Structure 1
């Protein structure tokens, strides 16, 4: 991919992160901000909006770091395993382990505070799995069946790793506020990548044709 399309991916993902965090933020914190909307308190609304945009940009950068890290790890894994099927098996095992660890972590955290595990925690884990399956299936339609397991691994494992700061905070509001922008940004990057690569290849061909014509 050429630099122009990298910049396009970076900026568009930033925008998506800011928009998604703003929408999710007001939805999650609606009880807190509803009085400001009812009284048309523009100052408080804009202040909250700027806050959500700021954290959305941070979530977007975290998502992009995870995406580029996975692209590197994916190539490295293929080189080490020397077999697509073996590397896919490793990714499946890692995905199962991370999901188990996510649920087990919730049980440990609840037992340490002598409280029950909130059903919302299991719901969020289910959301990650469903989102991963949906995006992976779309990726297969875009490319081929070989993209299913890498897509699923990225959407589940990488998202959960990026989600760790909110998991450590153990606050339901922050868990939702960080999860949805991460899922949206990760899905966007995964699905837009083939188009940007095609654009880069076409731009290179056009540039090469112009150079030969000179």
Structure 2
């Protein structure tokens, strides 16, 4: 990739993170912020928007670091294992392990006495569903060999990037961080070839 393409790629991901976080942030806190819109308080709206943009850019940088780690690990694994089928099998195992952990370990740490594990199932399922959809699009875009590694990025790497919000376990922060991370990771995965050609 040429340096111009790399710079455009970087700033495009920043913009994606800022946009998604702003939309999700206002949606999550609409009860608090709708008064600003109804009363046309432009200063308040602008200050909240700037905060969401800043947070979104931080999330996008975390996503870019995760993507770089993914590319590095993927290349090293292929060199060490010398077998793409073995690496795919290992990735599949890690994907299932992480998806199960996101449900069960969260339930163990944060579940109350009367809570059901069912309440902790749907976030990992949502992450897995978005991962499957993105991996399917990537497979159609390039080749069938990319499906599992794309799913690995969307589930495992996103879960690692999501750890700060998981540790806090605040519902708003869980959504506010997860949705932009998924968006940024999907954008990087699907758009990298287009930027590499520039």
Once residues 45 and 89 of structure 1 are traced to their aligned partners in structure 2, the CA distance between those partners, rounded to angstroms, is 48
Q: Look up the match of 1:56.
A: 56
Once residues 118 and 55 of structure 2 are traced to their aligned partners in structure 1, the CA distance between those partners, rounded to angstroms, is 26
Q: Tell me, yes or no, if the aligned pair for 1:21 and 1:177 is still in contact at 8 Å.
A: yes
Q: How does 1:1-214 map to 2 (within 5 A)?
A: 1-111=1-111, 113-114=112-113, 116=115, 121-199=120-198
Q: Deviations over 1:96-126 (max 9, x none)?
A: 1111111112211234x54525866432212
Q: How far apart are 1:197 and its partner, in Å? A: 2.5
Give SS of 2:121's match: helix
Q: Deviations over 1:66-125 (max 9, x none)?
A: 0011000000010111000001011001101111111112211234x5452586643221
Computing the radius of gyration over CA atoms, which structure comes out larger, 1 or 2?
1
- For structure 2, the 5+ residue unaligned runs are none
Give SS of 1:40's match: coil
Q: How far apart are 1:6 and its partner, in Å? A: 1.1
Taking a change above 3 Å as real, the CA distance of residues 166 and 115 of structure 1, as seen in their structure-2 partners, is farther
Q: CA RMSD for the aligned pairs?
A: 1.4
Q: Deviations over 1:46-70 (max 9, x none)?
A: 1110110010000000000000110
Q: Tell me, yes or no, if the aligned pair for 2:107 and 2:117 is still in contact at 8 Å.
A: no
Q: How far apart are 1:43 and its partner, in Å? A: 1.6
Taking a change above 3 Å as real, the CA distance of residues 107 and 120 of structure 1, as seen in their structure-2 partners, is closer
- Provide TM-score, normalisation by structure 2: 0.95
Q: Tell me, yes or no, if the aligned pair for 2:104 and 2:120 is still in contact at 8 Å.
A: no
Taking a change above 3 Å as real, the CA distance of residues 117 and 185 of structure 1, as seen in their structure-2 partners, is farther
Once residues 21 and 118 of structure 2 are traced to their aligned partners in structure 1, the CA distance between those partners, rounded to angstroms, is 23
Mean Cα displacement is larger for which, 151-160 or 116-125?
116-125
Mean Cα displacement is larger for which, 188-197 or 50-59?
188-197
Q: Tell me, yes or no, if the aligned pair for 1:62 and 1:162 is still in contact at 8 Å.
A: yes
**How many residues align structurally?**
198
Once residues 101 and 36 of structure 1 are traced to their aligned partners in structure 2, the CA distance between those partners, rounded to angstroms, is 40
